[in-house]
Amino acid sequence: MTEDNKTKKLTSYGDKGFSQFIRQAFNRHLGYAPEDFTKPVIGICNTKSEINRCHSHIEPLITAIKNGVLMAGGIPLEFPTISLGEINTSPTTMLYRNLAAMDTEEMIRAQPIDGVVLIGGCDKVTPSQLMGAASANIPSILITGGPMNNGEYEGRTLGACSDCRFFWQEYRGEKVNDQEINEINKALAPTAGHCMVMGSASTMAVCAEAMGMMLPGGAAIPATHNRRLEHAVQTGKQIVELVEKNITPSQIITRKSLENAIRMLMAVGGSTNAVIHLTAIAGRLNIELPLDLFDELSRTTPFIANLRPAGKFQMEDFFKAGGAPVVLKELESLLYTEELTVTGKSLRENLKDVRCSDTYREIITRFEKPLHQEGGIAVLKGNLAPNGAVIKPKAASKELLKHKGRAVVFTSLKDLEERIDDPELDISPDDIMVLQNAGPIGGPGMPEAGMLPIPQKLLKQGVRDMIRISDARMSGTAFGTVILHAAPEAAAGGPIGLVKTGDIIELNVEERVLQLHVTDKELKKRRMEWKPPSYFERGYTSLYQKHVLQADKGCDFDFLVSNPDKR
Ligand code: FES
C-alpha cells in the first residue's frame, strides 16, 4: 500500500499506532510478512456462486488472476461480493444491481487494497462492478467468466437464451411436442459460462472492452477455452502496472470512451439493457448520456456484427472472427481513439496490429459493407413516452415497424399472467399489447417482462409477433417488435399508465414516433383519476422504490449519481 492509503484505510480505534499494530498481527495469518504489504495489494472481487450458474466456474480464473498478480510483484487478496444470476433471482436481478454496485464500491473503498480485479459475467454483475469501480475510483480491471459454447439440437445451433424463448413459443403454439422440448431443454445451456448470444452479458463485456476497462479480446473468449486462463493471468499482471502508474477508472471512463462503448453497442446489435447500464455507469462519474445521444450514434453507426438475436452467429463464432477488437478496428474512423485504456495505452495503440481475416467476414463485416446502415437500437418519443422508449428494430418484424393499432392493456404482470391465455380474451394480431406497472418502481426492479407472450390462441393460428409496449425491460436475448423502458413509467404517473383497452396507438420507428391517439383533455381527466401504487414499507425494496431513477436516467439511486470525489 502507498503511505497515503495506509493512513486513509486504517480501521478506526482513535489510535493510529494501535491500528497498524493490530493489522500487522492479524495479517500474519494470511501468510505474509509485514514488509510484503509494501507491495501493491490487489483485491479480487469474487462473484462465484453455486446459485448463479454463469459464475460457477470462475475459481480457476481467480487462481490465474492471482498468479498474474504474484508474477508482477503484487499481493492478491480475494474477497466476495454479491453474485446475481438471472435465472434464479426473484423478482428480477435488476432490483439488486444497485445493491451489488454499492457492495462493490463500499468493499473496494473500505479495504486496504491498491487496485482491484472485478470478475463478472452474468447480465447485471458486469454493470454493477463498473458502477462500483467508477465510484470507488482506484485502479481497476474487469474480466468476465466468458460465454458458453454453442448448444446443438438435431444439427441446429442453439443459443441461450434466444432459443429458450423461441422454442417455448413454438411449444405453446403446439409446433414442438413434450419430448422435443425436453431434449431441447437439455441442449440449451451446455457448458460453463454466460449466455452465448449477444445478450446483455456479452453486450456489457464488449462495451467494457470498447470503453477501455477490459484487456483487448477478453469479451469473446469462450468460458471453456484455454485462452481465457491466459487472459486472466494477463489481467492479474496488468492491474499491478495500473497501480504503479495510478491509472484509475475516472481516467478511462470518459464521455468519449462511453461514446465508443455506445458505438460498439450499436454495431453489434447489442442488448437494450446496455442503454440503462451505460447511463448508470456514466452517472457515477457525473457524465450525462441522454437518450438522444444513443439514437444519434445509432443512426451513424453501421451494424457490422452478425450475431443473435438480431443476426445469425453466436459468441463462439464471434471469438473465431476476432471479437471486439475487430469490430473496433472496423469502426476506428468513428471512434475517439486517443482514449486511455487498461493496457496503459490508447485505444489507437491497442488497435495498431489488429487484423480482420476475410475468412470470417460473414460474422463481422467490413465497415463499408455493413449488414445494415444504422445501428441496432432506436429511441422513440411521443406522448406515450415523453422521456423516451427503446426498440431493437433489427430483432423486430419489418412490417410492424410502421403500424397503428388498438391497445389491449394489462395492468400488471399478475393481470397478464391471469388473462393472456384466456380463450375469451378480445385480441387480434393487429392489436398492440400494453403492459403497465412493470417499470423500476412498479415492478419493482423493472423485470425482463417486456417480451409479452403472444396469446396462445393466436400462436395456434400461426402468429409469432405483435407490437408490445411496456415500461419493463426485456432480456438481451429476446426478440420481436417490443418497445421497452417507456419513461416515465406507469407507477411514476407516466402516460403509459393512462392507456385503456381500445385506445389507438401509433408506432413509426423510422420517424421515431410512439403516439397515443387520445386527446389531451381526456388524458388530463384520466390523470386526475390515477392513483399512485403502494410502496414497500421496509427493507431494501422500500429504499429502492424511494430512490430509483427512471429508465432514461439509468435506474441508479439518486444519491449515488455524482462525482466520486464527493463524499
Ligand atoms: Fe447469466 Fe444469461 S443467465 S448471462
In the chain the domains, ranked by start, together with CATH numbers, are 1-9+17-32 (no CATH), 39-149+191-360 (3.40.50.2300), 151-188 (no CATH), 378-553 (3.50.30.80)
Instruction: Select from 122, 162, 191, 477 the residue to mutate for testing ligand 1; criterion: most ligand atoms less than 8 Å from CB.
Output: 122
Q: What DSSP character marks residue 380?
A: E
Q: Which atom of ligand 1 is nearest to the CA of 477?
A: 2
Confidence tier at 550 by pLDDT (50, 70, 90): very high
Residue whose Cα lies nearest atom 1 of ligand 1: it is 122
pLDDT at 1: 42
Pick from 92, 195, 198 the residue to mutate for probing ligand 1's pocket: most ligand atoms within 8 Å of its CB. 195
Indicate the SS3 state at residue 314: coil
Q: Which H/E stretch holds residue 417?
A: helix 413-419
Of 30-39, 213-222, 486-495, the one with minimum mean pLDDT is 30-39
Cell numbers that stand for 110 in this block = 473500505
What Cα–Cα distance (Å) separates residue 8 from each residue in 12, 103, 111? Answer: 10, 19, 10
Compare 214 and 161 and report the one with higher pLDDT: 214
Supply the pLDDT for residue 248.
Answer: 98
Q: What is the mean pLDDT of the chain?
A: 95
Measured between alpha carbons, how far is 130 from 567 in angstroms, rounded to an integer?
19
Kindly give the distance from the C-alpha atom of residue 49 to the centroid of ligand 1, in angstroms, as a whole number: 13
Q: Is the CB of 86 under 6 A from ligand 1?
A: yes
Q: Per residue in 113-144, pLDDT tens?
A: 999 999 999 999 999 999 999 999 999 999 99
Mutate to test the pocket of ligand 1, among 49, 52, 54, 163 (most ligand atoms within 8 A of CB): 54
Cell numbers 457515477: residue: 284
Three cell numbers, residue 392: 431493437
Q: What's the gap in Å between 12 CA and the centre of ligand 1?
A: 40
Q: How confident is the model at residue 33 (pLDDT cuts 50, 70, 90)?
A: confident
In SS3 terms, 144-197 reads as: ECCECCCEEECCEEECCCHHHHHHHHHHHCCCCCHHHHHHHHHHCCCCCCECCC
Claim: this prediction has a pTM higher than 0.90: yes
- Supply 264's cell numbers: 460498439
SS3 content of the chain, % helix, strand, coil (to 5): 40, 15, 45
Query: Does position 505 have pLDDT exceeding 90, yes or no?
Result: yes
